[in-house]
């Protein structure tokens, strides 16, 4: 087979945060596949076909990309951030199940800088010790699973990074998450809202859980909750690396 498939992360938004490895793959590609706003970040050029699609058709998108690669195309499936963090890498591998013909393809996962890590860097170092990452969308898992994970992570003392905190179609979920976190962590825990990280619209705001409101987050926001030792130093927030 002469085709190949690269599953690439475009980083959080700033073109300077796209890795050279991803840029090289895009320069060689005949086809780019992905969610509409992510494909829009790839500059058109002769010999390149762009295939934007809706965010609710991940498996269909993955199968289409694999079919093109099997036909000899050089295909890049793009995600924002890192493709292995709530993104297209899992969908591609799910599409590979039951298709041994596709499993022989040249497939590579090209890592990218996640919004979570870009947000943490902009705020200081709130993820400087043990942390976990939780997707607050209940589109692909029930809310009961999310609540259980929130409570266990809080009781374990993790700092937490939250993706997809609040959307127009599920505005109540983040309010429930904040209420759960206040129960488990108390009102004084620091929480950072990082919106549109690495873009001209970037906004970073750190408040306590008592001050946090659901309206402070949307789908362009990564929310980082510190652990019990997370504290401010000047304009920054950090979590010490030692536990006492």
Closest C-alpha among 31, 28, 102 to residue 63: 102
Helices (H), ranges, 186-220? none
Structure tokens at 33: 């596949």
- Summarize the confidence of residues 12-34 as an average pLDDT: 97
Mean pLDDT of the chain: 94
For the whole model, what pTM was predicted?
Answer: 0.91
Domain 4-113, architecture per CATH: 3-Layer(aba) Sandwich (3.40)
Structure tokens at 230: 């997370």
* Band of pLDDT at residue 1, cut at 50, 70 and 90: low
Output the CA–CA distances (angstroms, integers) from residue 229 to 76, 77, 226, 234, in the order listed.
Answer: 42, 39, 8, 16
* pLDDT number for residue 46: 96
Locate tokens 């943490």: which residue?
120
CATH topology of domain 116-238: 3.30.950
What is the pairing mode between strands 106-110 and 4-9? parallel
Q: Which helix (H) or strand (E) holds 150?
A: helix 143-156
At residue 191, φ and ψ (nearest 5 deg) are: -135, 130
What residues form DSSP beta bridges with 232? 237
- Summarize the confidence of residues 145-173 as an average pLDDT: 92
Which part of the chain has CATH 3.30.950.10?
A: 116-238
* pLDDT number for residue 119: 97
Locate tokens 């993706």: which residue?
163
* pLDDT number for residue 71: 96
Which part of the chain has CATH 3.40.1010.10?
A: 4-113
Q: What whole-number distance in Å separates Cα of residue 147 and Cα of residue 142? A: 9
* Band of pLDDT at residue 242, cut at 50, 70 and 90: confident
* pLDDT number for residue 23: 97
């Amino acid at each position: 087979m002469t085709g190949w498939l690269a599953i690439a992360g475009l980083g959080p938004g700033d073109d300077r945060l796209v890795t050279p490895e991803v840029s090289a793959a895009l320069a060689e590609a005949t086809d780019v596949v992905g969610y509409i706003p992510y494909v829009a970040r790839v500059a058109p050029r002769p010999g390149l076909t762009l295939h934007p699609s809706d965010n609710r058709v991940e498996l269909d998108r993955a199968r289409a990309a694999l079919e093109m690669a099997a036909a000899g195309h050089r295909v890049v499936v793009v995600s924002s951030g890192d493709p292995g963090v709530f993104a297209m890498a899992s969908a591609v591998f799910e599409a590979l199940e039951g298709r041994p013909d596709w499993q022989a393809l040249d497939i590579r996962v090209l890592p990218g800088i996640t919004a979570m890590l870009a947000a943490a860097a902009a705020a200081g170092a709130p993820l400087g010790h043990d942390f976990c990452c939780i997707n607050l969308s209940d589109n692909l898992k029930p809310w009961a699973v999310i609540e259980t994970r929130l409570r266990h992570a809080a009781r374990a003392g993790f700092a937490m990074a939250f993706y997809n905190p609040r959307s127009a179609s599920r505005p109540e979920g983040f309010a429930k998450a904040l209420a759960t976190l206040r129960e488990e962590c108390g009102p004084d825990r620091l929480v950072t809202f990082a919106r549109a990280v690495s873009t001209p619209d970037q906004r970073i705001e750190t408040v306590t859980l008592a001050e946090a409101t659901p309206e402070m987050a949307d789908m362009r926001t990564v929310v980082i909750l510190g652990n019990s030792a997370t504290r401010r130093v000047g304009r920054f927030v950090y979590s010490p690396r030692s536990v006492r």
